[in-house]
Structure 1
Amino acid sequence: MTDALIPLDPEPVALEASPGAAQIAAYLAARMCHDFISPVSAIVSGLDLLEDPDAQDMREDALGLIAASGRKLAEMLAFTRVAFGASASAETFDPRDLEALAQGIFRYQRAELEWAVEAPTLDKAAARTALNLAQLAGAALPLGGKARLQAVHDGGGTVIAVEAVGPKARLRPDIAAGLAGEKLPDGMMHGHWVQAYYVHLFVAEASGRVFAEADDEKVTFAATLPAG
């Protein structure tokens, strides 16, 4: 882990008009609904085919669609429960369990994920950070590539870095703004921004720092979190 991956500005960003908790909750709910609607709609379409007397020759296709969409929805829900939710009462996580959640999401993206976590356990803030930064890295690779996530314990805290490398790798301005704690840029939808802003909020609450930078066909996300 190099110093270049560690945020340099220790001061939190002061916002003049930061969104309220209710608005953030509404944005997050809309984001989750957007993610879940595709597999749910596919399941409903499969059920409609099963009930259509004129489409009995498509029964196997319908069952396959329902099964595949059900697995996708289950993986997305499991990921979201930890990345965005309270995840029951768990305070520490096995990195192998987190990798399974992240790989489940990457099965439906063009990019690949290399999970290189050296830390034996991750606390709740670090686990949320790792999962969200992994998903943001996958979204930064619209034409495919590889996202490599590292996490190590360093000086009593945790350092997390994700490098997304691939053709047309891109750091969206709304994601950059959200991670920096800035309001949604004019003319942009809140779906990507709210995830990045949520990461900024819980990292700042843990007295940590998060940042992102873009280079030629590479986007880097990094966060430092002190020990809880």
Structure 2
Amino acid sequence: MTTSSIDLASLLCSRLCHDLLSPVGALSNGLELLTEEKNPEMRQRCFELLEQSARISADKLKFFRLAFGAAGGFGEFVPTEEPRALIDALVAGNDRIAVNWGLAAEALPKPAVKVLLNLAQIGMDALVRGGTLDIGAELHGGACEIVVRAAGPKIAFDPAIGQALDGSMPTQELSSRTAAAHMIHLLASQSGGGIQYALTPEALVMGAVLPQG
């Protein structure tokens, strides 16, 4: 493992910890409140908050396990129902975002699944005021083609993430916020493909092509 790969792994771990800090912190606070609260109604509310925080924590761990890690079994392909279920679970708690699916394959190569999950995460982060998230993927002409479109009243997209996606960001400038975008850029490049994006005030469209080796 090279120094650069160790640095990237460290940044991805930082991103994972950042995203888990809020729901895990809520679990800790909820348990503390539960030990002090005597009112039955308030105790019931604490249990509901604990259940919600535990579910969010588990959903995020499952998502990052496949998006960053080596989950998905021992085969080269992952059923598309797995990434779909993970994304649907993350969006379930946000009624401001609607997800539309267009998956024309029953299974995708593992690198393509990582790209799809991370592009979807970028799209979700961009919908700060809600909107629609359209996700499509297909195997066509010996390549996997992925498209993610986030559309809403206000799109929040850090230009640094765009630089990490298209490979124009120097590796020494990477941060935990841009590490995932850089990782999927590397995955696409190593397969002979690439990632592109287009941004307007109303929509962010990201596309990836990954030739199948």
Does the alignment reach a TM-score above 0.5? yes
The CA RMSD over aligned residues, in Å, is 2.0
- Aligned residues with identical type, % of pairs: 32
Question: Which segment is superposed worse, 41-50 or 107-116?
Answer: 107-116
What is the CA distance between 1:112 and its match in structure 2? 2.0
Matches within 5 A, 1:59-78: 59-78=43-62
Question: Which segment is superposed worse, 199-208 or 77-86?
Answer: 199-208
2:90 pairs with 86, 96, 105, which one?
A: 105
Deviation string 1:11-53 (CA, Å, 9 cap, x unpaired) is xxxxxxxx8112211111111000011111111111112222x
TM-score calculated relative to the size of structure 1? 0.84
Mapped to 2, the partners of 1:69 and 1:145 lie a distance apart of 24
Please tell me whether the aligned partners of residues 166 and 194 of structure 2 are also in contact (alpha carbons under 8 angstroms).
no
1:132 is matched by which residue type in structure 2? Answer: N
Mapped to 1, the partners of 2:30 and 2:75 lie a distance apart of 36
1:224 is matched by which residue type in structure 2? Answer: V
Q: Give the gaps of 5 or more residues in structure 1.
A: 1-18
Mapped to 2, the partners of 1:34 and 1:168 lie a distance apart of 24
Matches within 5 A, 1:168-183: 168-183=154-169
1:150 aligns with 2:136: yes
**Does the residue aligned with 2:176 lie in a helix, a strand or coil?**
helix
1:200 is matched by which residue type in structure 2? Answer: H
Distance 1:72 1:90, change over 3 A: farther
Deviation string 1:137-156 (CA, Å, 9 cap, x unpaired) is 11111111101011111101
1:34 aligns with 2:18: yes
Number of matched residues? 207
1:28 is matched by which residue type in structure 2? Answer: L
Moved segments of 4+, more than 6 Å: none
2:152 pairs with 166, 175, 182, which one?
A: 166
1:94 pairs with 55, 79, 85, which one?
A: 79
Higher RCO (C-alpha under 8 Å, 6+ residues apart): 1
2:175 is matched by which residue type in structure 1? Answer: H
Tell me the residue number matched to 2:32.
48
1:104 is matched by which residue type in structure 2? Answer: A
2:188 pairs with 203, 207, 218, which one?
A: 203
What is the CA distance between 1:207 and its match in structure 2? 2.1
1:95 is matched by which residue type in structure 2? Answer: T
Q: Give the gaps of 5 or more residues in structure 2.
A: none
Question: Which segment is superposed worse, 99-108 or 77-86?
Answer: 99-108
1:124 pairs with 97, 100, 110, which one?
A: 110
Mapped to 2, the partners of 1:51 and 1:126 lie a distance apart of 46
What is the CA distance between 1:185 and its match in structure 2? 10
TM-score calculated relative to the size of structure 2? 0.90
